Amino acid sequence: MNIDEIHTPVLLERCVELLAPALDQPGAVLVDATLGMAGHSEAFLTRFPGLTVVGLDRDLEALSIAEERLKPFRDRIHLVHTVYDGIREALDSLGIDEVQGVFFDLGVSSLQLDRVERGFSYSKDAPLDMRMDNTSDLTAEHILATYSESELRRIFHEYGEEKLAARYAKAIVEARATAPLVRSAELVAILTKVTPVVVQRTGHPAKRVFQALRIEVNQELSVLERAIPAALDAVAVHGRIVVEAYQSLEDRIVKKALARVSTSSAPAGLPIELPEHKPLFTQLIRGAELASEEEKARNPRATSVRLRAAERLRRAG
């Protein structure tokens, strides 16, 4: 398998640029919290010869590919099978107290999208799996078979921001009464059948439902809500965090977490900001940075990316 043919890291040069001031020093440690096939980590290790990378991933296949890819740097990597909210436990297991950088490339990975049998894509027929970690138990098939109509409606609405959530949930419950849903093509057919033609012209009927199912299967948002604060806590003074998000729900969580730590805690009206109220971090990008048209043309997966970054100014207390 040619890794480069199926994996082009998003905004690679920009991520290197943002992390460079923190990583370009002997003994620097970076946590790649979403290692995937290690495209970003390979670049970080190449550019910064004094860097050690702690790579986290819940996907055992991705870890295996990353380990092979990073063989030239084997003395400077630690790969850990864990979901990224386990960042503190992973660092503790390695005897690492704080790090100079943390990097997140959120969402479904190139490997997961391109492996048809994983069931992440609505455009190709596959088992309704969608697990990022195939050692976990919950699958999309199980959700579609066991969740109530109201539960399905909720996840489609909350995680897919789907306006037809109620209609889709009802159609799924009616269909499964006749036969269980086990293939992605079966689900796509059900959704397409109950979607008005005018709506189908604006986008694929299954896109948001598949996103919602994937998020529910992997508990992506609740994991992220725990992971970002844990990552921020691990960053040393003058260390940096860089996060790439690909949909609004993820980006909202990142935005709020960074705003919390980069805002003064001083009560309104105080004439002088006391040191203990000064922000812990400063944001390095105003708002979220998007990919250029050139980057989008070169790498279609950069189309929806939202990039945010921050640097730690001080420790609390």
- Please report, in range form, the residues annotated as the binding site for S-adenosyl-L-methionine: 38-40, 57, 84, 105, 112
Query: Which tokens go with 292?
Result: 């250029």
The answer to whether 6 and 110 have CB atoms below 8 angstroms apart is yes
Provide CB contacts within 8 A for 163, sequence distance 6+: none
Please state, as a whole number, how many other Cβ atoms lie within 10 Å of the Cβ of residue 225. 15
Residues in the chain: 317
- Alpha helices in the chain, H assignment, sequence order: 3-6, 12-23, 39-47, 60-69, 87-93, 110-114, 140-146, 149-160, 165-176, 184-193, 197-200, 207-218, 220-234, 248-261, 293-298
**CA-based Rg of the chain, rounded to a whole angstrom?**
21
DSSP count for the chain of H helices, then E strands = 15, 7
Query: Which tokens go with 156?
Result: 């489609």
What is d(CA 77, CA 114) in angstroms, rounded to the nearest whole number? 26
Q: Which residues are annotated as a binding site?
A: 38-40, 57, 84, 105, 112
The answer to whether 286 and 263 have CB atoms below 8 angstroms apart is no
Is the CA virtual torsion 267, 273, 277, 282 positive or negative? positive
